A and B are shown apart, each in its own frame.
Chain A
Amino acid sequence: MYGVIKLLKLLLLPFVSATIVGGFLWLPPALNFRSPDLARIVVFHVPCSIVAMIASAVATWHAIRYLWKRSLIDDIKAQGSFTFALLLWVLTTVTGAVFARSQWGAYWSWDIKQAAILILLMIFAAYFALRAAMDDERKRATLGSVYILFALIAVPYLTLALPNSTNDTLHPKGTLTTKEGLDPRYAIVLWAGVVALTAVYAWAASLSGSIGALEFARRQRMGSIMAQSSTVTIVEKVH
């Protein structure tokens, strides 16, 4: 099992490189867009948003697990995935705005998906403000997990329901779900990008989880040493 994972990690670098190189060099320019060369940005834009959804689903799962089992490791993992999701959503917004500049004429034009993602970014950022204001570790973990569960109800609404509720959008529709939506080569690179980015996210999340677990263990050790030494001084004082 360990050998397989190691092999997969080694294969990840050529795989990610191949996706990026394929995106820039192998794909033909998409002629029905205003700047056909820049249209390749879609194979970076869409994977970012899909993997951000995966990362926030994982964060939700860890938040539920924290409230259920009360192990601080789960809170550390939830925070890691949540951070990753925010980063990917920022990247989605930026790549989208760059393409919007050439296609729709402005970086920002209050398309329904742009409005939705702006609200989403603010909801995500508030999580970190809430955490930063709590001084107690347990309280921070509990309220952080509760906030994730409360706020993430909005995610499927903002990413799936709201943009599909209206035809008044500048975003193309059905590019991923219908056959004639994309050149097959675009579909290959796009889904390869989703797989590659998911693997990168999984690796980064597991690393941040391990780092968090080590820090947690160290803090606990320090805590028990402190507790012992203070007991010793109290006992000495009594004597």
Chain B
Amino acid sequence: MKPNAGVQKSFGSDLKHGLHSAGLIFKKDLQVEFRTRYALGSVSLFSLTTVVAVSGALSSQNLHSDVKAALLWVVLLFAAMSGLARVFVREVESGTSDALKLYAPAASVYAGKLLFNLALVAAVELITVPLYLIVLPPQVIHPGLLIAVLALGGLGLSSAATFVAALIAQAKSGKSALFFTVAFPVLMPLLLVAVKSTVGAFDLVPTHESQAVSGMYVLACYSVVTTTAALLLFEYVWRD
């Protein structure tokens, strides 16, 4: 008799089960986070101090919109990166990753962690961007364009960073330095396009605006490709 003869699972029930586990992992991570507020506290303090430092140093200057866009993304990137690796590093350091391996399919673990990191990036953006726009106001703001860039850029940022976090969590020591070393090159194309698109949201030059719109497609493609590749490859990272 075949070992799994009685268990005939359909693709639909597999998907439902996977999504359910992803939701549970997301909920669990949120609970753990609200117990200590470690990631949220560090990233919000980080973005607060950087925005204050940047505006304090540059408030007397009349900055071009491309400088403002680049500074905004540098602040966002560093603030987010300081918290994004926690999801996997915490599991490995507290020894809970083996239990997680037993209870949930690999793709669900990635999806759950991605959801948590998305929430974290959204929180970083909600704290940083309004503050930044108050202390360093650009000439104009196209709100729709800016929100779209922040959403798509944040999506790509968290999907690539979550995958890299899973890779570096296996390292023996120096995890946070390694996270920056490996994630920055992978995120560089995204960052360059995001800055270019943000310039379009900060001024009135029509070519910048069309550039921003075409940058949107690149950002969307980046998110789709990294998320798909991560879902396919995560099995190998997680099971070994």
Contact = CB atoms under 8 A, between A and B. Distances in A.
A95 to B, nearest CB: 22
Contact of B186 (A115, A123, A142): A123
Given A134-B171, A150-B233, A142 B178 contact: no
Given A135-B172, A150-B163, A157-B189, A129 B240 contact: no
B182 interface: yes
Interface of B is mostly: helix
Interface residues of B, number: 25
Contacts of B233: 146, 149-150
Q: Interface residues of A toward B: which range? A: 20 to 34
Nearest to B188: A119
B237 interface: yes
A153 B182 contact: no
Interface in A146-201: 146-147, 149-151, 153-154, 157-158, 162
A125 B188 CA distance: 14
A157 B181 CA distance: 21
B229 A125 contact: no
Contact of B185 (A115, A126, A133): A126
B184 interface: yes
Contacts of B237: 142-143, 146
A120 to B, nearest CB: 9
Interface in A117-132: 119, 122-123, 125-126, 129-130
Given A122-B188, A150-B229, 18 more contacts: A122-B184, A126-B181, A126-B184, A130-B178, A130-B181, A133-B178, A142-B237, A143-B167, A146-B233, A146-B237, A149-B229, A150-B186, A150-B230, A153-B229, A154-B186, A154-B189, A158-B189, A162-B189
28 contacts: A67-B236, A119-B185, A122-B184, A122-B188, A123-B188, A126-B182, A126-B184, A126-B186, A129-B178, A129-B181, A130-B182, A133-B173, A133-B178, A134-B170, A138-B240, A139-B170, A139-B240, A142-B237, A142-B240, A146-B167, A147-B167, A147-B182, A150-B163, A150-B186, A150-B229, A150-B230, A154-B189, A162-B189
